[in-house]
Amino acid sequence: DAKTTQPPSMDCAEGRAANLPCNHSTISGNEYVYWYRQIHSQGPQYIIHGLKNNETNEMASLIITEDRKSSTLILPHATLRDTAVYYCIVRVILIGSNFGNEKLTFGTGTRLTIIP
Amino acid sequence: DTEVTQTPKHLVMGMTNKKSLKCEQHMGHRAMYWYKQKAKKPPELMFVYSYEKLSINESVPSRFSPECPNSSLLNLHLHALQPEDSALYLCASSQESRLTNEKLFFGSGTQLSVL
């Protein structure tokens, strides 16, 4: 899987949009961009993923650049409960006989702190 | 039910003890994972089971022994651990999906302390 680079920490004011960048310059054409977050003392939680197009769900939006070498996770109205470590991961989705043979590798992530 | 349940939540054991961590999911997922996470570090993959068969072992020491008795259960047997094995042990599961929206569901983990 391609490696990702994220800033180690960021602050964001409560109620504002939090924009978390991720560089993945060596991403392959069949690798998806996934975002997970981990709130203190809990397991990681899936947020969103995408391949080429921008994606939006009830938690966040994912903007992927046209060359796919970077992406941004957007939390539109950050709350104190969004304080967490956010991980950007690129991975191939394996199906069929290759299912279960992938190593989902976490990078160091971005520690996002929401300021009241 | 979209939960992965891990028990116990906390475990303290001596270096000569034998203990087991348990993970359970009822989402019909056919891949299950063990991750180890040290404080302030990202999770590190240990094992992957696919259709109850071990598919990935990330060169984990034999004092950690995984077991997948059925598609809903995943155990991690611990024996003769070292203090440096103290960590949060996370279980996850995922469903094979041709719709390409496969994602991992994680449990809350077992915080293990080895004395």
- Per the CB < 8 Å rule, is A100 touching B108? no
Structure confidence at residue B97 (pLDDT): 58
Closest CA in chain A for residue B31: A100
Cβ partners under 8 Å of residue B37, min gap 6? B43, B44, B87, B88, B89, B90, B109
Structure confidence at residue B1 (pLDDT): 63
Q: How many whole angstroms separate alpha carbon B109 and alpha carbon B31?
A: 17
What integer is the mean pLDDT of A47-73?
95
Tell me what percent of chain A is helix, strand and coil, each rounded to the nearest 5: 5, 45, 50
Structure confidence at residue A91 (pLDDT): 81
| β strands within chain B, DSSP E | 4-7, 10-13, 18-25, 31-37, 44-50, 53-57, 64-70, 73-79, 87-94, 105-106, 110-114
What integer is the mean pLDDT of A58-82?
96
Structure confidence at residue A100 (pLDDT): 67
Report how far apart the first and last C-alpha atoms of chain A are (Å, whole number). Answer: 37
Structure confidence at residue B60 (pLDDT): 95
Percent of chain B with pLDDT over 70: 92
What integer is the mean pLDDT of B76-94?
96
User: Which residue in B23, B28, B57, B75 sits closest to A101, CA to CA?
Assistant: B57
Q: Does the pLDDT of residue B100 top 50, yes or no?
A: no
Q: How many whole angstroms separate alpha carbon A39 and alpha carbon B68?
A: 28
Size of chain B in residues: 115
Q: Does A53 touch chain B (CB under 8 A)?
A: no
**Is A107 within 8 Å of A3 (Cβ atoms)?**
yes
Report how far apart the first and last C-alpha atoms of chain B are (Å, whole number). Answer: 36
- Cβ neighbours of A49 in B, within 8 Å: 101, 103
Q: Is A56 or B55 the better-scoring residue by pLDDT? A: A56
Query: What is the SS3 assignment for B40?
Result: coil
**Is A105 within 8 Å of A39 (Cβ atoms)?**
no
Q: Does the pLDDT of residue B111 top 50, yes or no?
A: yes
B104, B107, B109 member nearest A104 (Cβ): B104
Least confident of A4-8, B85-89, B100-104: B100-104
Q: Does A45 touch chain B (CB under 8 A)?
A: yes
Closest CA in chain B for residue A108: B42
Cβ partners under 8 Å of residue B6, min gap 6? B21, B22, B23, B24, B89, B90, B91, B107, B108, B109, B110
